[in-house]
Chain A
Amino acid sequence: MHQLSEPVTSSPWTVPAPWRVTSRRRESADTVTLELEPPPGETFAFRPGQFNMLGAFGTGQVPISISGDPAAGGPVLHTIRDVGMATHALCALEPGDRVGVRGPYGTWWPLEEAEGADVMIIAGGIGLPPVRPAVYHLLAHRDRYQRVVLLYGARTPADLLFTDELADWRSRFDLDVQVTVDTAAGGWRGDVGVVPDLIATTRFDPETATAFMVGPEIMMRFTVRALRSAGVPDDRIFLSMERNMQCAVAMCGHCQLGPFLVCRDGPVFCHRQVARWLSLREV
């Protein structure tokens, strides 16, 4: 499944284009969504699952998932979690600030191939942003799919992202949304438990369903197990993988996962491709 993105600008990979922050929204204590606009005259298009390399002035660049609606025009949404120097600087940007952007890079969720059957979107923590564009696509073409399920897990209720949108989605009759957290204070009326355990009690047809999954590797590993137990075959389970990325153009060697370069052959992988490599330690 070698899908390669087309570079949007003609400038070399070493030169990020100066985009502008048009708005900023705090999603949780450590997560921010930035809306970014390309320089005048430049257009931008992406597919669900792809990422951009973002770099605030003075810090290095990091891969950030594009988290908005691919069909919507206007500013491009990026959801960033503050985990280090580069992401800290990005989370501190204000409207009007400039940021270096290049992309889009990477492979995308095979949404067309999943048509005609059930789709399970499974996200953990900061994994919801990279898969949200897929949810938008599914909802925009709802009649092309059977059941659509969203399973989402986070650490605590305060860590849930896009809560307004989750509430909207929950109220739809054509979308099964289940949210769970690892732990909660007594007032929480939602579920407490782990994402893999949601699979057994979700209604879907494992023989034809496709699953798209993003989250911490441990969570994905256990979720894959649950999907396999339920009867979903490896070639219909797709994961978004993460590795150290510095160039995003298949040159710096850091994002290797065995025979794959995550920036070029991923981040979206079919589980069948990567299963043997994920089962090895320290690869």
Chain B
Amino acid sequence: MMQSPADREGQLVMARGHLDQLLETIARRGFRLMGPTVRDGAIVYDEISSSADLPAGWTDEQDGGQYRLRRRGDDALFGYNVGPQSWKRYLFPPSSLLSRVRSEDGLSLAAVDEPDTAPLAFIGVRSCELHAIAIQDRVFLGGRHADPVYADRREGAFIVAVNCGQAGGTCFCVSMQTGPRAQSGFDLALTELLDAGRHEFLVEIGTDRGAEVMNQVPCRGALAADAEAADQIIQRTAASMGRQMDTGGIKDLLYANFEHPRWEDVAGRCLACGNCTMACPTCFCFSVENVSDLTGTQAELHRSWDSCFTMDHSYLHGGSVRVTNRSRYRQWMTHKLATWIDQFGTSGCVGCGRCITWCPVGIDITEEVAAIRADDGAVTGGPDGAARTGPAGLAAQEGQTGDA
């Protein structure tokens, strides 16, 4: 959490009044600025033109199934946590055209014009969101076949991160080791220093590109006191997380508890609405559809967000593999926290808490994990609904001799 003196070298302090100059400098380099703004009672990410668009003086109050904005007592520009969306809507758009094919000349490829191909600058990216982007990078860029749409948007995206000055009601980045301090993956990282005497930003340079931009913005060198002030803010944030999750051995824990009665329990609450998958910054499932035009000479391949909560997600041979609510919730949670690790080498969860906040019935992933952990090895079955097999769980129950 504390930065070493070496890390602090080259840190700058910029006055709040110069933030617009920073934004303009970035914009002048051809970037479209995407940042937080208040709309429809939430803080959402949208195109911004200046700091006037930022949610000054607003914070968010979040809990299971609850989100509301509240006025702060100050003018903090980044005094909130995370809204219903994440940056994935820009890197991995909800709907995109992949290719277009014409049937004359034997399936020739037609050009696909992007409506606006200007590179994007993300203003106000939280540490959890940086991790989420890195996680999606592995999915879309880390395999044998990179995704061209994601690659196009990701490459060159300018990232101005923000270290959280407060923890949200559903935040647990500390448990997931994804924050609150932004460690890497940014061009610039800001920590808002706001008190009676001043409104400034500690600026950490992450890339040469970030350094070049800062060269155009009035600022001074950071003093030890500035860095310490930032450290204290970040530590205070880390100490006030709204949730926590014990992730020790979580993959093995969930692998051993696929028949836990808790899944029945959560299935009774879950509406399979899929809000969690849409709000989640790492969920990446998409469906591919072919759309033909009326003349029948042109066909387009479209991709749009999908959710493992839909009935069709696992459709095969006239039916779906995962039919029950129970199996679909289990799929989502075990993928997020366990099988993702085997698939892509990291956890899929960054502890941002959106799934908890935006679940209409307030299902809390941290609570579900705790419940399973507290009753490790319990199995659904029997007239009283639960039978015990002990920690060996699945293997003992099924009599399999597969890998432990």
Binding site for B on A (CB under 8 A): 4-7, 12-16, 18, 20, 55, 57-61, 83, 98-100, 234, 242-244, 246-247, 249-254, 256, 258-261, 264, 272-276, 279-283
Contact = CB atoms under 8 A, between A and B. Distances in A.
A242 B306 CA distance: 20
A20 B403 CA distance: 45
B230 interface: no
Interface string B274-307: 0000000000111111101000100101010010
A251 B147 contact: yes
Contacts of B107: 18, 57, 98-100
Interface of B: 98-99, 101, 103, 106-109, 139-140, 143-149, 258-259, 284-290, 292, 296, 299, 301, 303, 306, 308, 313-318, 321-324, 326-327, 331, 334-335, 338-339, 341-343, 394-395, 398, 400-403
Contacts of B395: 276
A53 to B, nearest CB: 10
A58 B402 contact: no
Q: Which applies to chain B's interface (DSSP): helix, strand, loop or mixed? A: mixed
Interface centre among A7, A16, A20, A259 (most CB of B within 10 A): A259
Contact of B143 (A60, A100, A251, A276): A251
A253 B140 CA distance: 11
Contacts of A100: 101, 107
13 contacts: A5-B144, A7-B145, A12-B148, A13-B148, A98-B107, A234-B401, A244-B315, A244-B316, A256-B331, A256-B339, A259-B343, A273-B403, A276-B394
Nearest to B96: A14
Nearest to A249: B145
B321 A243 contact: yes
Contacts, number: 149
Nearest to B296: A58
B315 A253 contact: no
A25 to B, nearest CB: 22
Contacts of B285: 252-254
Contacts of A244: 313-316, 321
B276 to A, nearest CB: 14
A244 B314 CA distance: 6
A221 B132 CA distance: 39
B146 A12 contact: yes
A234 B259 contact: no
A281 B147 CA distance: 32
Nearest to B109: A15
B145 A234 contact: no
Contact of A83 (B103, B317, B401, B402): B317
Contacts of A57: 101, 103, 107, 299
A252 B288 contact: yes
Given A14-B148, A58-B296, A281-B327, A20 B106 contact: yes
Contacts of A274: 402
A58 B286 contact: no
B149 A14 contact: yes
Given A58-B292, A283-B321, A250 B299 contact: no
Contacts of A243: 314, 316, 321
Interface centre among B288, B318, B343 (most CB of A within 10 A): B288
Contacts of A247: 286, 288
Nearest to B308: A253
B101 A276 contact: no
A14 B99 contact: yes
Interface centre among A55, A253, A264, A274 (most CB of B within 10 A): A253
A5 B137 CA distance: 21
A60 B148 contact: no
Nearest to A228: B401
A246 B394 contact: no
A20 B105 CA distance: 12
Given A14-B98, A15-B109, A259-B343, A275 B402 contact: yes
A249 B313 CA distance: 17
Contacts of B398: 276, 279-280
B349 to A, nearest CB: 15
Nearest to B291: A58
A247 B108 CA distance: 20
Contacts of A253: 284-286, 306, 308
A156 to B, nearest CB: 19
B400 A279 contact: yes
Given A58-B296, A259-B342, A282-B323, A249 B143 contact: yes
Contact of A7 (B103, B108, B144, B303): B144
B306 A60 contact: no
Contacts of A249: 143-145, 147
A7 B148 CA distance: 15
B289 A60 contact: yes
B184 to A, nearest CB: 24
Contacts of A272: 402-403
